[in-house]
Amino acid sequence: MDDSDLDDLLRKSAPTPSSAATGTAVLLSRQTRGVQAGATPLGQARPVHRRRWLAAAVAAGALALTGAGTLTAYQLGVPPFQTLDADVGRTTTGIAVTYINSSDRTVQCLAFIEYRNLDAAQRTALDQVATSTQWAGYGQRVLNALDLPDASPQAQNAAITEVVEQDLWRAAHTAVPTMVYMQDSDGPVFNGSSLSCANSGGVDGQP
Amino acid sequence: MGSLKVTDHVQRLVEDNAPDLLAYFLRRVEVAEDAADLLNEVLLVIWRKAGSLPGDHTEARMWMFGVARNVLSTHRRASGRRSALHERLREQLAEPHGGDDQDGDGSDVQAALAQLEPLDQEVMRLLFWDGFSQAQVAALLGMPEGTVRSRTHRARQRMKQTLGAASLG
Protein backbone atom coordinates (compact mmCIF):
# COMPACT_ATOMS: atom_id res chain seq x y z
CA MET A 1 0.00 0.00 0.00
CA ASP A 2 1.47 3.39 -0.95
CA ASP A 3 0.51 6.83 0.30
CA SER A 4 -1.93 7.36 -2.55
CA ASP A 5 -3.77 4.13 -1.76
CA LEU A 6 -4.01 5.06 1.89
CA ASP A 7 -5.21 8.57 1.12
CA ASP A 8 -7.92 7.14 -1.10
CA LEU A 9 -9.02 4.71 1.60
CA LEU A 10 -9.07 7.52 4.14
CA ARG A 11 -11.28 9.71 2.00
CA LYS A 12 -13.70 6.87 1.37
CA SER A 13 -13.92 5.99 5.07
CA ALA A 14 -15.34 9.37 6.08
CA PRO A 15 -18.66 8.96 7.92
CA THR A 16 -21.17 10.91 5.87
CA PRO A 17 -24.66 12.09 6.85
CA SER A 18 -27.56 10.75 4.83
CA SER A 19 -29.05 12.95 2.13
CA ALA A 20 -32.12 13.40 4.33
CA ALA A 21 -29.98 14.61 7.23
CA THR A 22 -28.05 16.91 4.91
CA GLY A 23 -31.32 18.40 3.68
CA THR A 24 -32.51 18.93 7.22
CA ALA A 25 -29.22 20.62 8.07
CA VAL A 26 -29.89 23.15 5.31
CA LEU A 27 -33.43 23.72 6.58
CA LEU A 28 -32.06 24.19 10.09
CA SER A 29 -29.65 26.81 8.78
CA ARG A 30 -32.60 28.69 7.28
CA GLN A 31 -34.59 28.40 10.48
CA THR A 32 -31.67 29.76 12.45
CA ARG A 33 -31.66 32.81 10.22
CA GLY A 34 -35.35 33.17 11.04
CA VAL A 35 -34.55 33.12 14.72
CA GLN A 36 -32.04 35.87 14.13
CA ALA A 37 -34.65 37.92 12.27
CA GLY A 38 -36.99 37.94 15.23
CA ALA A 39 -37.81 40.93 17.34
CA THR A 40 -35.21 40.27 19.98
CA PRO A 41 -31.64 38.99 20.12
CA LEU A 42 -30.82 35.41 19.30
CA GLY A 43 -30.79 32.82 22.02
CA GLN A 44 -31.35 29.15 22.51
CA ALA A 45 -34.05 26.98 21.08
CA ARG A 46 -37.14 25.79 22.88
CA PRO A 47 -37.53 22.70 25.00
CA VAL A 48 -39.06 19.68 23.39
CA HIS A 49 -41.33 18.54 26.13
CA ARG A 50 -43.75 21.36 26.72
CA ARG A 51 -47.35 22.07 26.13
CA ARG A 52 -48.43 23.89 23.05
CA TRP A 53 -51.86 25.38 22.83
CA LEU A 54 -53.26 25.63 19.35
CA ALA A 55 -56.56 27.11 18.39
CA ALA A 56 -58.83 24.87 20.36
CA ALA A 57 -61.90 26.88 19.59
CA VAL A 58 -61.43 26.74 15.85
CA ALA A 59 -60.68 23.06 15.92
CA ALA A 60 -63.98 22.60 17.68
CA GLY A 61 -65.75 24.37 14.86
CA ALA A 62 -66.77 27.21 17.09
CA LEU A 63 -65.18 29.89 14.99
CA ALA A 64 -65.12 30.88 11.37
CA LEU A 65 -63.37 34.15 10.96
CA THR A 66 -63.30 35.95 7.69
CA GLY A 67 -61.43 38.89 6.34
CA ALA A 68 -58.64 40.65 8.06
CA GLY A 69 -60.48 41.89 11.08
CA THR A 70 -58.75 42.33 14.38
CA LEU A 71 -58.70 39.19 16.45
CA THR A 72 -59.20 39.21 20.13
CA ALA A 73 -58.25 36.63 22.68
CA TYR A 74 -61.92 35.83 23.06
CA GLN A 75 -62.45 35.30 19.35
CA LEU A 76 -59.51 32.99 19.19
CA GLY A 77 -60.83 31.07 22.11
CA VAL A 78 -57.87 31.38 24.42
CA PRO A 79 -59.56 31.42 27.80
CA PRO A 80 -61.75 29.60 28.64
CA PHE A 81 -61.18 27.11 25.84
CA GLN A 82 -57.56 26.56 26.66
CA THR A 83 -57.03 25.76 30.28
CA LEU A 84 -53.94 26.37 32.31
CA ASP A 85 -52.43 24.64 35.30
CA ALA A 86 -53.40 26.29 38.56
CA ASP A 87 -50.07 28.00 39.09
CA VAL A 88 -49.64 29.20 35.52
CA GLY A 89 -50.70 32.60 34.26
CA ARG A 90 -51.00 33.94 30.74
CA THR A 91 -50.72 37.47 29.40
CA THR A 92 -54.06 39.06 28.71
CA THR A 93 -53.03 40.91 25.55
CA GLY A 94 -52.15 38.80 22.54
CA ILE A 95 -49.36 39.65 20.14
CA ALA A 96 -50.58 39.62 16.55
CA VAL A 97 -48.76 37.11 14.37
CA THR A 98 -50.23 37.39 10.90
CA TYR A 99 -48.87 36.01 7.67
CA ILE A 100 -49.83 34.71 4.25
CA ASN A 101 -49.04 31.03 4.00
CA SER A 102 -48.00 28.94 1.00
CA SER A 103 -51.67 28.37 0.14
CA ASP A 104 -52.11 32.13 -0.16
CA ARG A 105 -54.28 32.16 2.92
CA THR A 106 -53.94 34.83 5.54
CA VAL A 107 -53.32 33.15 8.86
CA GLN A 108 -54.09 35.28 11.87
CA CYS A 109 -52.66 34.28 15.20
CA LEU A 110 -52.36 35.70 18.66
CA ALA A 111 -49.38 34.76 20.79
CA PHE A 112 -49.41 34.80 24.58
CA ILE A 113 -46.70 34.43 27.18
CA GLU A 114 -47.27 31.89 29.93
CA TYR A 115 -45.60 32.37 33.27
CA ARG A 116 -45.39 31.41 36.92
CA ASN A 117 -44.61 33.30 40.11
CA LEU A 118 -45.02 36.85 38.83
CA ASP A 119 -46.15 39.72 41.00
CA ALA A 120 -48.57 42.36 39.79
CA ALA A 121 -45.91 44.74 38.51
CA GLN A 122 -44.20 41.95 36.59
CA ARG A 123 -47.50 40.83 35.07
CA THR A 124 -48.11 44.38 33.95
CA ALA A 125 -44.63 44.54 32.43
CA LEU A 126 -45.33 41.40 30.42
CA ASP A 127 -48.68 42.72 29.23
CA GLN A 128 -46.92 45.84 28.04
CA VAL A 129 -44.61 43.70 25.91
CA ALA A 130 -47.56 42.86 23.69
CA THR A 131 -48.28 46.49 22.95
CA SER A 132 -44.78 47.24 21.74
CA THR A 133 -44.42 48.45 18.17
CA GLN A 134 -41.69 45.86 17.61
CA TRP A 135 -44.40 43.35 16.70
CA ALA A 136 -45.75 45.33 13.75
CA GLY A 137 -45.56 43.06 10.71
CA TYR A 138 -43.87 40.47 12.87
CA GLY A 139 -45.51 37.27 11.56
CA GLN A 140 -44.78 37.94 7.90
CA ARG A 141 -41.28 39.12 8.76
CA VAL A 142 -40.53 35.84 10.50
CA LEU A 143 -41.98 33.76 7.67
CA ASN A 144 -39.99 35.70 5.07
CA ALA A 145 -36.81 35.23 7.04
CA LEU A 146 -37.45 31.51 7.44
CA ASP A 147 -37.36 31.35 3.65
CA LEU A 148 -39.64 28.33 3.40
CA PRO A 149 -41.84 29.34 0.45
CA ASP A 150 -42.33 25.74 -0.70
CA ALA A 151 -43.07 24.31 2.73
CA SER A 152 -46.58 23.16 3.54
CA PRO A 153 -48.82 25.54 5.51
CA GLN A 154 -48.48 23.21 8.47
CA ALA A 155 -44.70 23.20 8.25
CA GLN A 156 -44.64 26.98 7.93
CA ASN A 157 -46.84 27.31 10.99
CA ALA A 158 -44.69 24.89 12.97
CA ALA A 159 -41.55 26.81 12.06
CA ILE A 160 -43.14 30.13 12.96
CA THR A 161 -44.33 28.71 16.28
CA GLU A 162 -40.76 27.78 17.12
CA VAL A 163 -39.46 31.25 16.38
CA VAL A 164 -42.31 33.00 18.17
CA GLU A 165 -41.67 31.13 21.38
CA GLN A 166 -38.00 31.99 21.31
CA ASP A 167 -38.77 35.64 20.65
CA LEU A 168 -41.41 35.75 23.38
CA TRP A 169 -38.96 34.33 25.87
CA ARG A 170 -36.39 36.98 25.08
CA ALA A 171 -38.95 39.76 25.13
CA ALA A 172 -40.26 38.49 28.46
CA HIS A 173 -36.78 38.26 29.87
CA THR A 174 -36.10 41.83 28.83
CA ALA A 175 -39.28 42.98 30.58
CA VAL A 176 -38.64 40.87 33.68
CA PRO A 177 -34.88 40.33 33.89
CA THR A 178 -35.14 37.99 36.87
CA MET A 179 -37.28 35.59 34.86
CA VAL A 180 -35.83 32.15 34.13
CA TYR A 181 -36.61 29.83 31.25
CA MET A 182 -38.79 26.86 32.13
CA GLN A 183 -37.12 25.88 35.35
CA ASP A 184 -38.35 24.85 38.71
CA SER A 185 -37.97 28.07 40.61
CA ASP A 186 -39.73 30.10 43.25
CA GLY A 187 -38.96 33.23 41.24
CA PRO A 188 -40.45 34.42 37.94
CA VAL A 189 -40.55 31.62 35.37
CA PHE A 190 -41.23 31.75 31.63
CA ASN A 191 -43.49 28.73 31.30
CA GLY A 192 -43.83 28.71 27.53
CA SER A 193 -46.16 30.35 25.08
CA SER A 194 -49.47 29.76 23.39
CA LEU A 195 -50.28 30.57 19.80
CA SER A 196 -53.88 30.55 18.65
CA CYS A 197 -54.44 30.83 14.94
CA ALA A 198 -57.38 31.09 12.61
CA ASN A 199 -58.26 32.09 9.11
CA SER A 200 -61.29 31.85 6.87
CA GLY A 201 -60.36 28.39 5.70
CA GLY A 202 -59.13 26.66 8.77
CA VAL A 203 -56.68 26.74 11.55
CA ASP A 204 -52.91 26.74 11.82
CA GLY A 205 -52.53 26.74 8.07
CA GLN A 206 -54.47 23.53 7.65
CA PRO A 207 -57.19 23.44 4.98
CA MET B 1 -24.12 46.43 0.67
CA GLY B 2 -27.53 46.72 2.35
CA SER B 3 -28.39 44.69 5.42
CA LEU B 4 -30.73 42.43 3.44
CA LYS B 5 -27.99 41.68 0.91
CA VAL B 6 -25.54 41.07 3.73
CA THR B 7 -27.85 38.59 5.43
CA ASP B 8 -28.56 36.91 2.09
CA HIS B 9 -24.80 36.61 1.59
CA VAL B 10 -24.39 35.10 5.04
CA GLN B 11 -27.32 32.77 4.42
CA ARG B 12 -25.73 31.47 1.23
CA LEU B 13 -22.44 30.85 3.00
CA VAL B 14 -24.15 29.15 5.93
CA GLU B 15 -26.35 27.05 3.67
CA ASP B 16 -23.39 26.00 1.51
CA ASN B 17 -21.42 24.89 4.53
CA ALA B 18 -24.14 23.45 6.78
CA PRO B 19 -23.84 19.93 5.28
CA ASP B 20 -20.07 19.96 5.73
CA LEU B 21 -20.38 21.27 9.27
CA LEU B 22 -22.83 18.48 10.02
CA ALA B 23 -20.40 15.94 8.59
CA TYR B 24 -17.57 17.52 10.60
CA PHE B 25 -19.46 16.96 13.84
CA LEU B 26 -20.73 13.53 12.82
CA ARG B 27 -17.14 12.41 12.38
CA ARG B 28 -16.14 13.53 15.85
CA VAL B 29 -18.94 12.58 18.22
CA GLU B 30 -19.53 9.24 19.87
CA VAL B 31 -23.30 9.50 19.65
CA ALA B 32 -24.32 10.48 16.12
CA GLU B 33 -27.38 12.42 17.28
CA ASP B 34 -25.11 14.81 19.18
CA ALA B 35 -24.02 16.16 15.79
CA ALA B 36 -27.49 17.70 15.51
CA ASP B 37 -27.00 19.52 18.82
CA LEU B 38 -23.63 20.80 17.75
CA LEU B 39 -24.79 21.91 14.32
CA ASN B 40 -27.68 23.78 15.92
CA GLU B 41 -25.30 25.45 18.34
CA VAL B 42 -22.76 26.42 15.72
CA LEU B 43 -25.46 27.88 13.46
CA LEU B 44 -26.68 30.05 16.32
CA VAL B 45 -23.15 31.24 17.02
CA ILE B 46 -22.49 31.93 13.33
CA TRP B 47 -25.61 34.07 13.02
CA ARG B 48 -24.89 35.84 16.28
CA LYS B 49 -21.41 36.71 15.01
CA ALA B 50 -22.41 37.15 11.37
CA GLY B 51 -20.83 40.60 11.36
CA SER B 52 -17.42 38.97 11.78
CA LEU B 53 -17.89 36.54 8.89
CA PRO B 54 -15.22 37.13 6.21
CA GLY B 55 -16.53 38.08 2.80
CA ASP B 56 -14.29 35.65 0.95
CA HIS B 57 -15.92 32.23 0.60
CA THR B 58 -12.83 30.22 1.54
CA GLU B 59 -12.01 32.45 4.48
CA ALA B 60 -15.63 32.30 5.61
CA ARG B 61 -15.51 28.51 5.47
CA MET B 62 -12.36 28.51 7.57
CA TRP B 63 -13.98 30.93 10.02
CA MET B 64 -17.06 28.73 10.36
CA PHE B 65 -14.98 25.62 10.98
CA GLY B 66 -13.02 27.56 13.58
CA VAL B 67 -16.30 28.32 15.32
CA ALA B 68 -17.28 24.67 14.95
CA ARG B 69 -14.06 23.58 16.57
CA ASN B 70 -14.66 25.87 19.52
CA VAL B 71 -18.23 24.67 19.86
CA LEU B 72 -17.06 21.08 19.79
CA SER B 73 -14.39 21.70 22.40
CA THR B 74 -16.83 23.35 24.79
CA HIS B 75 -19.77 21.15 24.00
CA ARG B 76 -22.22 20.70 26.79
CA ARG B 77 -25.21 18.65 25.96
CA ALA B 78 -28.44 20.60 26.24
CA SER B 79 -30.86 17.82 25.47
CA GLY B 80 -33.87 19.72 26.74
CA ARG B 81 -33.62 22.56 24.23
CA ARG B 82 -34.36 21.52 20.68
CA SER B 83 -36.50 22.77 17.86
CA ALA B 84 -38.63 20.45 15.72
CA LEU B 85 -36.06 20.52 12.90
CA HIS B 86 -33.31 19.90 15.42
CA GLU B 87 -35.23 16.85 16.68
CA ARG B 88 -35.80 15.60 13.13
CA LEU B 89 -32.09 15.84 12.40
CA ARG B 90 -31.26 13.85 15.54
CA GLU B 91 -33.66 11.11 14.45
CA GLN B 92 -32.12 11.02 10.97
CA LEU B 93 -28.62 10.82 12.40
CA ALA B 94 -29.64 7.94 14.65
CA GLU B 95 -30.22 5.88 11.49
CA PRO B 96 -27.25 4.02 9.96
CA HIS B 97 -24.89 6.12 7.90
CA GLY B 98 -21.53 5.47 6.26
CA GLY B 99 -18.84 6.67 3.93
CA ASP B 100 -18.40 6.23 0.20
CA ASP B 101 -16.35 3.06 0.57
CA GLN B 102 -18.04 0.70 -1.83
CA ASP B 103 -15.90 -2.27 -0.84
CA GLY B 104 -16.55 -2.03 2.87
CA ASP B 105 -17.80 0.18 5.62
CA GLY B 106 -14.42 1.82 6.19
CA SER B 107 -14.35 0.53 9.73
CA ASP B 108 -10.85 -0.91 9.37
CA VAL B 109 -9.50 2.45 8.24
CA GLN B 110 -11.41 4.21 10.99
CA ALA B 111 -10.01 1.75 13.53
CA ALA B 112 -6.48 2.39 12.29
CA LEU B 113 -7.11 6.12 12.49
CA ALA B 114 -8.36 5.75 16.06
CA GLN B 115 -5.01 4.28 17.09
CA LEU B 116 -3.15 7.50 16.25
CA GLU B 117 -2.43 10.25 18.75
CA PRO B 118 -5.51 12.47 19.14
CA LEU B 119 -3.87 15.44 17.41
CA ASP B 120 -2.68 13.26 14.51
CA GLN B 121 -6.20 11.90 14.21
CA GLU B 122 -7.57 15.41 13.93
CA VAL B 123 -4.97 16.38 11.32
CA MET B 124 -5.93 13.37 9.19
CA ARG B 125 -9.66 13.95 9.63
CA LEU B 126 -9.37 17.59 8.59
CA LEU B 127 -7.22 16.66 5.59
CA PHE B 128 -9.03 13.61 4.26
CA TRP B 129 -12.54 13.77 5.66
CA ASP B 130 -13.21 17.50 5.67
CA GLY B 131 -11.13 18.38 2.60
CA PHE B 132 -8.89 21.09 4.03
CA SER B 133 -5.40 21.77 2.71
CA GLN B 134 -2.34 21.41 4.93
CA ALA B 135 -2.08 25.18 5.20
CA GLN B 136 -5.71 25.42 6.25
CA VAL B 137 -5.32 22.61 8.79
CA ALA B 138 -2.33 24.46 10.21
CA ALA B 139 -4.42 27.63 10.56
CA LEU B 140 -7.34 25.81 12.12
CA LEU B 141 -5.20 23.99 14.66
CA GLY B 142 -2.91 26.94 15.32
CA MET B 143 0.32 25.15 14.43
CA PRO B 144 3.06 25.61 11.81
CA GLU B 145 2.39 24.08 8.41
CA GLY B 146 5.59 22.10 8.71
CA THR B 147 4.22 20.43 11.84
CA VAL B 148 1.11 19.42 9.93
CA ARG B 149 3.29 17.93 7.20
CA SER B 150 5.41 15.95 9.65
CA ARG B 151 2.38 14.74 11.56
CA THR B 152 0.72 13.70 8.31
CA HIS B 153 3.80 11.75 7.28
CA ARG B 154 4.03 10.03 10.63
CA ALA B 155 0.31 9.25 10.69
CA ARG B 156 0.46 7.73 7.21
CA GLN B 157 3.34 5.44 8.18
CA ARG B 158 1.56 4.25 11.30
CA MET B 159 -1.72 3.69 9.53
CA LYS B 160 -0.05 1.69 6.77
CA GLN B 161 1.62 -0.46 9.39
CA THR B 162 -1.65 -1.01 11.21
CA LEU B 163 -3.63 -1.77 8.07
CA GLY B 164 -0.86 -3.99 6.70
CA ALA B 165 -0.73 -5.99 9.92
CA ALA B 166 -4.50 -6.33 9.89
CA SER B 167 -4.53 -7.63 6.31
CA LEU B 168 -1.84 -10.18 7.16
CA GLY B 169 -3.69 -11.24 10.27
CATH code where residue B168 lies: 1.10.10.10
Task: Identify which has the larger pLDDT, A127 or A150.
Answer: A127
Task: Give residues 159 to 178 of A whose Cβ lies within 8 Å of B.
Answer: 159, 162
Contact partners, residue A83, CB within 8 Å, separation at least 6: none
Range of the domain at B38: 1-97
Report residue B64's pLDDT band, with 50, 70 and 90 as the boundaries: very high
Q: Are residues B115 and B132 in the same domain?
A: yes
pLDDT at B87: 78
- Domains identified in chain B, total number: 2
Identify the pLDDT of residue B104: 59
Q: Are residues B25 and B90 in the same domain?
A: yes
Q: What's the average model confidence in pLDDT over A14-33?
A: 81
Please tell me whether residues B92 and B108 are part of one structural domain.
no
End-to-end Cα spacing for chain A: 62
A11 contacts B80? CB cut-off 8 A: no
What's the one-letter identity of residue B73?
S
Return the pLDDT at B9: 80
Nearest CA in chain A to B153: A3
What is the pLDDT at residue B147? 94
> B75 and B146, same structural domain?
no
- Give the pLDDT band of residue A70 (cuts 50, 70, 90): very low
> Are residues B129 and B88 part of one domain?
no
Indicate the burial class of B112 (C-beta count within 10 angstroms; 0-12, 13-18, 19 or more). Answer: buried
Highest mean pLDDT among A139-148, B55-64, B67-76, B89-98 belongs to B55-64
pLDDT reading at A43 higher than 60: no
Helix (H, G, I), strand (E, B) or coil at B146: helix
Shortest Cα distance, chain A CAs vs residue B18, angstroms: 6
Looking at the structure, tell me whether residues B89 and B162 fall in a common domain.
Answer: no
Residues in A touching B122 (Cβ below 8 Å): none
Domain boundary among B97, B113, B136: B97
- Give the pLDDT score at A46: 35
Give percent of chain A above pLDDT 70: 68
Average pLDDT score over residue span B145-149: 94
User: B51 and B15: one domain?
Assistant: yes
Spatial distance between the Cα atoms of B52 and B47, rounded to a whole number of angstroms: 10
ipTM of predicted complex: 0.72
Residue A27 pLDDT > 90, yes or no? no
CATH number at residue B93: 1.10.1740
pLDDT of residue A151: 73
Residues B26 and B32 sit within 8 Å (Cβ to Cβ): yes
Residue range A12-41: average pLDDT? 72
For testing the chain A interface, which of B16, B43, B87 should be mutated: the one with the most A CBs within 10 Å?
B43
Question: Quick check: A70 and A109 in contact, CB under 8 A?
Answer: no
Q: Across the interface, do B128 and A7 touch by the CB < 8 Å criterion?
A: yes
So where are chain A's domains? 3-198
Q: Is the pLDDT of residue A195 over 90?
A: no
User: Which of A46-55, B19-28, B98-107 has the highest mean predicted lDDT (pLDDT)?
Assistant: B19-28
Asked whether residue B80 falls in the same domain as residue B93, the answer is yes
A207 vs B148, more confident: B148
Q: Could you tell me the pLDDT band of residue B96, with boundaries at 50, 70 and 90?
A: low
Q: What spatial distance separates the first Cα and last Cα of chain B, rounded to whole Å? A: 62
Cβ of B98 within 8 Å of Cβ of A28? The answer is no
Q: Which residue has the higher pLDDT, A92 or A200?
A: A92
Helix, strand, coil percentages (3-state) for chain A, rounded to 5, are 40, 15, 45
Q: How far is it, in rounded angstroms, from Cα A187 to Cα A118?
A: 7
Q: What is the pLDDT of residue B83?
A: 66
pLDDT for res A69: 34
Q: Please report the pLDDT score of residue A92 as a whole number.
A: 83
Boundary residue ending a domain (B70, B97, B124): B97
Q: Mean pLDDT over all residues of chain B?
A: 82
Which of A12, A26, A29, A167 should be substituted to probe chain B, the one whose Cβ sees the most B Cβ atoms within 10 Å?
A29
Q: Supply the mean pLDDT for chain A.
A: 70
| B143 plus B162 within the same structural domain | yes
| Same structural domain, B131 and B164 | yes
Would the pLDDT of A185 be above 60? yes
Beta strands in B10-138 (DSSP E): none
- Using a CB-CB cut-off of 8 Å, the residues of chain A touching B87 are 48
User: Residue B146: is its pLDDT beyond 90?
Assistant: yes
Residues B152 and B138 in one domain: yes
Q: Residues B93, B123: one domain?
A: no
H/E segment holding residue A95: strand A95-100
